[in-house]
Amino acid sequence: MKNILYATDYSENSIAALNFAHFFAEKLNAKLLVMHVFDIPVSVASPVSISYIRKEKRLFAEHRAKLEDFCAEHLGDKLKTINLELLVDEDGSTSDGIIEKVIDHNVDLAVVGTKGASAVKEFIFGSTAKALIRKAPCAVLAVPETSNTKYCKTIVYASDFEKADIFAIRRLAKIAEAFDAIIRVIHITTKKEYVGDQQLQWFKEMVQQKVDYNKLEYNLIYSENIYEKLLSSLLEKEADLLVMLERKDKGVIRKLFDRDMVLRMESNIGIPLLSYSVGVL
């Protein structure tokens, strides 16, 4: 991993994400791009007018200074431990502005903050994170404001035991190795839907062939409530990071992120959620 991009709106919700972005950049020896996207309020001035251009130039300078102060306040001396670059962009869409820089700088991981304690819930309803998951050509890390960055020793990967999961785990193993973390692969299914133990055995054998990492565990869990069981499993396994593969209308992601189910559930599990997309593996 060479480039990590962190985007902020200067809010309290984004401070934990900044610390996580720094934590990852330091451990993975990656460059950290710290970014803010602003929007110029609509006015009678034309985008090609002198007054508009002057206003835009002034706002770029103001936001760059504000971004420098934000990093200095919340990272302090830790700024010296990484290769850091500040980016400021003007765009009516925050997610589009971020994605443009992701492409321009060949970003491997985009980091954003979420409101509240539940990364899973905000991952669904947070518009910026949701848009990035759908469109960004890189992995996305959504960090709730209650997260801390003391360590990352236990990573839970929610799997469907499919071939695409193997490629995601192979990428994840590179991160886990930097943290000396264990990857606990869990598959949650109902007894009615599960096709047999041979599926688990096939998956384990395929991972062993494709992934050069020995700190892997596998758990098959039966439950009629996928969402609730995943949350309880995160607590039981003392997970520091939850990782999923974004799919379109299939598998554990579809079951887990059923909107009615998310609305019914309230979670205080404040751990980051890392998403890989099938389209960019």
In tens, the pLDDT along 91-127 reads 888 889 999 999 999 999 999 987 644 555 554 445 6
Residue 228, CB-side half-sphere exposure with 13 Å CA sphere: 10
What is this structure's pTM? 0.85
The correct CATH number of 154-280 out of 3.40.50.150, 3.40.50.300, 3.40.50.1950, 3.40.50.620 is 3.40.50.620
Q: Helix or strand or coil: residue 83?
A: coil
- State pLDDT tens for residues 205-230: 999 999 999 999 999 888 888 778 88
Q: What is the pLDDT of residue 265?
A: 33
Are 71 and 6 a contacting pair, CB within 8 Å?
no
Lowest mean pLDDT among 54-58, 72-76, 96-100, 187-191: 54-58
Closest CA to 133 of 46, 40, 253, 234: 253
Strands (E) in 48-106, as ranges, are 84-90
CA–CA distances in Å: residue 269 to residues 8, 70, 122, 218:
22, 27, 12, 22
- State pLDDT tens for residues 136-153: 899 999 888 888 877 899
Alpha helices in 118-193 (DSSP H): 119-125, 127-135, 163-179
CA–CA distances in Å: residue 20 to residues 29, 151, 195, 258:
14, 10, 38, 28
Mean pLDDT computed over 40-54:
61
Query: In this model, does residue 86 exceed pLDDT 90?
Result: yes
- Which of left, alpha, beta for 49 (phi over 0: left; psi -120 to 50: alpha)? beta
Query: In this model, does residue 263 exceed pLDDT 50?
Result: no
Are 276 and 238 a contacting pair, CB within 8 Å?
no
Are 17 and 144 a contacting pair, CB within 8 Å?
no
Place of tokens 């996580």: 20
Q: Which helix H or strand E contains 95, and what residues bound it?
A: helix 94-104
CATH superfamily of 3-144: HUPs (3.40.50.620)
Q: Helix or strand or coil: residue 220?
A: strand
Are 6 and 33 a contacting pair, CB within 8 Å?
yes
Fold: same for 3-144 and 154-280:
yes
Are 239 and 271 a contacting pair, CB within 8 Å?
yes
> Is beta strand 139-144 parallel, antiparallel or unpaired with respect to 273-277?
antiparallel
Q: Which residue has the higher pLDDT, 41 or 27?
A: 27
Q: What is the pLDDT of residue 125?
A: 43
What is the domain partition of the chain in residue ranges? 3-144, 154-280
Residue 58 CB contacts under 8 Å (≥ 6 apart), including other chains: none
CA–CA distances in Å: residue 94 to residues 37, 97, 103:
6, 5, 15
> To the nearest 5 percent, what fractions of the chain are helix, strand and coil?
45, 20, 30
What is the spatial distance between Cα 252 and Cα 161, in angstroms, rounded to a whole number? 10
